[in-house]
Amino acid sequence: MKYTLVAWMRDKPGVLNRVSGMLRRRNFNIDSLQVSHSETPGISRMTFVVDGDERVADQVIKQMRKLVDVTRVENITDKPAVLRELALIRVRTTPETRAEILQFADIYRAQIVDVALDSLVVQVVGSEDKVDSAIQLLENFGIIEMVRTGRVALLRGSAGRRNGRRSTAVWRARANGNP
Amino acid sequence: MSTAPSNPGDLPRPADEPREMTGAQMVWEAMLHEGVKVVFGHPGGAILPTYDALAPHEAAGRIHHVLVRHEQCAAHMADGYARATGQVGVCMATSGPGATNLVTGLATAQMDSVPMVAITGQVPTNLLGTDAFQESDVVGVTQPVTKHNYLVTDVEELPYVLKEAFYIARTGRPGVVLIDICKDVQNATGIFRYDFSVDLPGYEPWPEYSPEALQAAADLINRAERPLILAGHGVQLAGVSDRLVELVEKAEIPVVTTLLGVGDIPETHPLCLGMGGMHGEAYANRAIQSCDVLIALGMRFDDRITGRLDRFARQAKIIHFELDKAEVGKNVVPDVAVVGDLAQTLPALLPLIQERRHPVWIQEINEWRQDTQQTDILNFEVDELIPPYVIRQLWHAVKERGQDPIIVTDVGQHQMWESQYFIHERPGQLLTSGGLGTMGYAVPAAMGAQMAYRDRLVWAICGDGGFQMTLQELATLQQEKLQVKIGIINNGFLGMVRQWQQLFYSKRYVGTPVLSPDFVKLAEAYGIPALQVTRPEEVVPALRQAHETDGPFLIDFQVKEEVNVYPMVAPGAAVDELIRRPRPAIVQGYSGVQPSW
């Protein structure tokens, strides 16, 4: 299963290296990782997707929290959240295909951000599935070049505002079959 | 400029007014504030300004520098010092090779939760990243083996980094913090201040325990018919050995310890079953596999204690008392976890525990124990010099002198024999590299411990292999006039590796026979009196002579070569599937293997 985790960290030199180094040496499997500024100056926000079972996700969160520069980690997998990826795709065009590509772009609410005689750059924003399916479709016309971000996530509505509470320390094991 | 503290004897001292000084001076000012008295290190180009700034402090007797012969040993000495005192150990090295030589020592300390600050010099900021002379990416290299580390490129940051480093090293689960300081930063002038509190928003060294979890733990313990405590290093770090004994006696719960937990409870206590795991006694491991509630205190379920995980204490409800949240559920998933400082959780648990007696369970364990003791080598007359005998006689000799010793072991067979045959009665009596298993640890770590307590009896016990990894420190030992006693269990092999080759690789001894110099002559070259022991009857007089000699002493115990450590849980096996000590009657035919105790 894929878990979406969000981490906040002090914006210090090498902090990304600390996180990625820890994930590598503890043999965790990371699907994507996205870092940027957050609303607080000096704090970076990282969204990353972990592939594994519940225990793995639990360990990733705890090991992340152990890093001194990491200020907060949250698992938003089961919470209502807006999950987005962005892709920029340069598609080969001919006079015959251009209109068709524009139509597909429209269906995906994608934007054309660059035009040349023999190509178009399509910008798709959406869930991972949506971006996947847009890419699959555009492949039929010939993708010359492509770049794609990892997942970014933000909780919906009021859920995003109060999340300071840590989980309780009684930690009953589900792995033993005892819910 | 720096002024001498008004009362150098009264350290650590409070922060005084911020004032201007060089980065190099800041390093020592911070150490004075932190109460550091000894630094273990080796100088070099990139750390020279800092060494120069030590001069006035060393002249005034405020901080003493111990010059090591290899930087690895600077870290091991700081480690031994820290384990013996509970204070932060400090080591220092130059850039490049100096810093990379530290790495083994840092990893050793970090794995065993030892509070340490390491300071390394770095090339000047304008040369960073240019592959300059003696440049290495120390922060990159040491990141996986430290709790945290810093590269300092601005002198204004330095006081904050220094204070944070000591704070992080000693708080929560202790660990190693490294500060890499560029040479120009050491020379630059800035404002030194120490009158601030450390602000680390994401760092939670002492998590609050949950009273509900504690109650759930108490309920399980109160209902248990066959309870067992598995006590680790955390008990000693939290200083709660007395509370552990209270708990054990109140509810009559037997205790198995980990290697680093040896001494959590006196091994003379009738409810102490000694060490468990790979070389734990059969009755200790059987107790683990047969208990119905396993109470893990300050330990992390290392593979050496659990053996095969999916068959570890399968029938037991597991309660995990642990400070480090990340250890909860890492290897073993507990039924109840109490996350918090044992110094708080254990006293809070005690009133919730009912007085109980478990006669059936205790009797069962004692029967297993008797069965083991019947086959113990020490109950038979053996005409050859065997290591368990040496260790037990060492215990007798120390006991006879009524001294409270510190035993520091290296890694391998002698380490396991020490844990089995020395009877530890106090926490902190045994210092050993448990997690990383670093050969060469004993001699330098013993010297570090002796630096802290110059009058105490400190024994370094090593094998002939491990001793030769760090024997250059004998010169340091003499330079510092330390009185460490060294016992070499010399069997001509890398014994533990040879044992594995014997048991699992059809006795092909590849790379394990060790040629050693004449250790007595070697010791004499360093001016250390020494003796060679080859017969059992020479052991006691030799130990007596070592104890009666002022200053250091070395004994080369030339023991029987192919002796094995038993019991043994083969790697990957469950802890009750162990290879028992061969019974004397069947020794000859034992698995076609030569008589091997």
The band of B381, judged by pLDDT with boundaries at 50, 70 and 90, is: low
Q: Do A110 and A127 fall within a single domain? A: yes
The candidate with the shortest Cα–Cα distance to B547, out of B400, B408, B440, is B400
Task: Dump pLDDT digits (tens) for B135-174.
Answer: 999 999 999 999 999 999 999 999 999 999 999 999 999 9
User: Across-strand partners of A35?
Assistant: A46
Is A169's CB within 8 Å of B210's CB?
yes
Nearest residue to B470 via CA among B454, B447, B449: B447
d(CA B176, CA A83): 38
- Collect all residues of chain B within an 8 Å Cβ-Cβ radius of residue A19: none
Strand positions, DSSP E, B544-590 = 553-558, 568-569, 578-579
pLDDT tens readout for residues B289-347 = 999 999 999 999 999 999 999 999 999 999 999 999 999 999 999 999 999 999 999 99
Domain residue limits at A50 = 2-80
| Three-state DSSP state, B407 | strand
In Å, how far is B235's CA from the nearest CA of chain A?
20
Dihedral angle computed from the Cα positions of residues B359, B364, B370 and B371, in that order, rounded to the nearest 10 degrees: 170
Tens-place pLDDT, residues A9-67? 999 889 999 999 999 999 999 999 999 999 999 999 999 999 999 999 999 999 999 99
From B134, B344, B472, B532, the catalytic residue: B134
Structure ipTM: 0.89
Could you tell me the pLDDT band of residue B576, with boundaries at 50, 70 and 90?
confident
- Count the domains in chain A: 2
Give the burial class of B310: count Cβ atoms within 10 A of its Cβ; 0-12 exposed, 13-18 middle, 19 or more buried: exposed
- Write out the two tokens for A8: 């906040």
- Pairing relation of β-strands B293-297 and B317-322? parallel
d(CA B365, CA B283): 6
Closest CA to A17 of B149, B177, B159: B149
Residue B68 pLDDT > 50: yes
Active site includes B183?
yes
Could you tell me if A73 and A128 lie in one domain? no
Same domain for A10 and A76: yes
Q: How far is CA A8 from CA A72, A112, B151, in A?
A: 5, 33, 21
Does B509 have pLDDT greater than 80? Answer: yes
> Hey, of B166, B322, B335, B344, which one would you mutate to test binding to chain A, going by the most A CBs within 10 A of its CB?
B335
Instruction: Round the average pLDDT of chain A to a whole number and report it.
Output: 88
Q: What is the DSSP string of B485-554?
A: EEEEEE-SB-HHHHHHHHHHSTT---S-B-----HHHHHHHTT--EEEE-SGGGHHHHHHHHHHSSS-EE
Domain match, A72 and A88 both: no
Measured N-to-C along each axis, helices B282-290 and B359-374 cross at an angle, to the nearest 10 degrees, of 150
Beta carbons of B326 and A72 less than 8 Å apart: no
pLDDT for residue B590 is more than 80? no
- Residue where a domain terminates, one of A80, A100, A115: A80
Question: What domains does chain B contain, in order, with CATH numbers?
Answer: 19-192 (3.40.50.970), 211-369 (3.40.50.1220), 378-565 (3.40.50.970)
Assigned domain for A165 exists: no
Q: What is the 3-state secondary structure (H, E, C) of B59-101?
A: HCCCCEEEECCCHHHHHHHHHHHHHHHCCCEEEEECCCHHHHH
Q: What does DSSP assign to residue B259?
A: S
B502 tagged catalytic: no
Total Cβ atoms within 10 A of residue A140: 12
CATH number, residue A13 = 3.30.70.260
**Residue A144 domain-assigned (yes or no):** yes
Point out the residue among A8, A21, A169 whose CB comes nearest to the CB of B338: A169
**CA B533, CA B439: separation in Å to the nearest integer?**
23
B374 — pLDDT class (breaks 50, 70, 90): confident
Assess whether A73 and A88 both reside in one domain. no
Is A69 near chain B, with CB under 8 Å? yes
Of B37, B147, B163, B183, which is the active-site residue? Answer: B183
pLDDT, tens only, A110-140: 999 999 999 999 999 999 999 999 999 999 9
- E strands, B139-206, where? 148-152, 176-182, 189-192
A148, A91: one domain: yes
**Domain termination residue (choose one: A80, A102, A124):** A80
